[in-house]
Amino acid sequence: MTPRFAITIKRDTQVPRTPLQVCILFALVTILMSERVATCQDDRDTISQIAKVWKKRSDAVRTIRVAWVETSSRDRSKTASVGRVVWTLGQGGKSRLERIGRDSTGSKTVSGKTISSFDGHKNYSFTSESLGGDWPRGIVWTDKHNDHIHNIQIRPWLIHLRPFGEPVPGITTEGLRLREGNANEDDREHLIVRTLAGPGEVVGEYWLDPERDYVVEKYVELANGRATMTLKIEYEKDTTIGWIPHSWKGSFENGSFSISGRTERYELNPEIADSDFDIDFKEGTMVFLRDDGVRALYGPNGRRRIITPEESAAGFSYEELLSELTGGAGD
């Protein structure tokens, strides 16, 4: 990378007085400014090349279905989790994240399933009764973006396959800058780019391997110049797009949360139906319909019983409502 230059003139520096000294100084400034312009152009050319490679990889993958084994821990609740995750990414921002696993807190261990899905217009979430409380629970609401897009567990895939996706990762060519100087880590020379940010905003720092299609091997989030989250990604060869995430480790610098994953299988560009992003709430699921501000108890054959605000305020018996619903009543 072309080195940067700067000129600092101290107040006590003797100002050139002869015509020859003035000419020499003018020539020096002209040379250094030319170097600076050339450096900026080199940076823009490099960023354009990075964006071109990233876009080519993104365009090559219209849809994906991937499964991985995941472990995580939460320091504050002393909870350790192990599970298998399946993530399906469709076109138009459609996404479904499903996890089956077990959570351990002290001597207590519970197993269950969670699902988060976005059909392009609405978010759906489901938590099985073992994890959600006395009964299975769900939420449905309208939104422009899927609710799980900020999850660190899918960040390796979003960075690799949807770097320009909104709102995450939200990278733009105009908003990237090369960090001065390269860095060596794990015996690899890395090119480092950063996102531009205003005062108090989070900066994303991406460590790229130029020899492997600019894959992101490390991602760091910085707030006020200090790292708050770090994600490291390892890759394996793929015949279609060159490289695919193989394993990853992420953690928050305050120690509150850490996660690791290892890919078990993946499928690029599978045929995915719109129905794959639906959640069929099973019988007995209590669902909060956020747009309407009410809860509904789901029964057999898609039947459901709306619970009025008055019933919620007065209290109700879940068992009695479910018995009523399965007996044939519903909305």
pLDDT at 316: 87
DSSP labels for 67-113?
EEEEEEEETTTTEEEEEEEEEEE-GGG-EEEEEEEEEEETTEEEEEE
**Quick check: 110 and 128 in contact, CB under 8 A?**
no
Q: Name the CA dihedral angle for 131, 137, 141, 143, rounded to a multiple of 10 degrees.
A: 10
Compute the average pLDDT of residues 164-185: 87
Question: Range with the lowest mean pLDDT among 124-138, 221-235, 257-271?
Answer: 124-138
Q: Report phi then psi at 321, rounded to 5.
A: -65, -40
Class (C level, CATH) for 60-276: mainly beta
**Quick check: 100 and 84 in contact, CB under 8 A?**
yes
**Quick check: 251 and 218 in contact, CB under 8 A?**
no
**Quick check: 156 and 248 in contact, CB under 8 A?**
yes
pLDDT at 233: 98
Question: Which has the higher per-residue pLDDT, 279 or 29?
Answer: 279
**Quick check: 124 and 278 in contact, CB under 8 A?**
yes
Domain extents in the chain = 60-276, 281-326
Residue 2 has pLDDT above 90, yes or no: no
Q: Residue 300: left (phi > 0), alpha (psi -120 to 50), or beta?
A: beta
How many of the other CB atoms lie within 10 Å of CB of 294?
Answer: 15
pLDDT at 143: 95
Confidence of residue 1 (pLDDT cuts 50, 70, 90): very low
Q: Report phi then psi at 152, rounded to 5.
A: -65, -25
Q: Rounded to a whole number, what is the distance in angstroms from the first to the last CA of the chain?
A: 67
Tell the residue number behind the tokens 């994953």, with chain if given: 261
Question: C-alpha 110: how far from its chain's center?
Answer: 27
Measured at the CA of 148, the angle between CA 144 and CA 152, to 5 degrees, comes to 135
Confidence of residue 301 (pLDDT cuts 50, 70, 90): confident
Question: Range with the lowest mean pLDDT among 83-87, 237-241, 247-251, 307-311?
Answer: 307-311
Gyration radius from the chain CA atoms = 27
Question: C-alpha 193: how far from its chain's center?
Answer: 17
The span from the CA of 217 to the CA of 233, in Å, is 5
Strands 294-298 and 286-289, by their bridges, are: antiparallel
Measured at the CA of 177, the angle between CA 171 and CA 179, to 5 degrees, comes to 125
Sequence-ordered alpha helix ranges (H) in 133-174? 155-161
List CB contacts of 290: < 8 A, sequence separation 6 or more.
139, 140, 141
Question: C-alpha 55: how far from its chain's center?
Answer: 17
For residue 123, give Cα distances in angstroms to 65, 151, 309: 19, 15, 23
Q: What is the pTM of this model?
A: 0.83
Strands 215-223 and 122-127, by their bridges, are: unpaired
Kindly report, residue by residue over 14-44, the tens digit of the pLDDT: 555 677 666 666 656 555 454 444 457 789 9
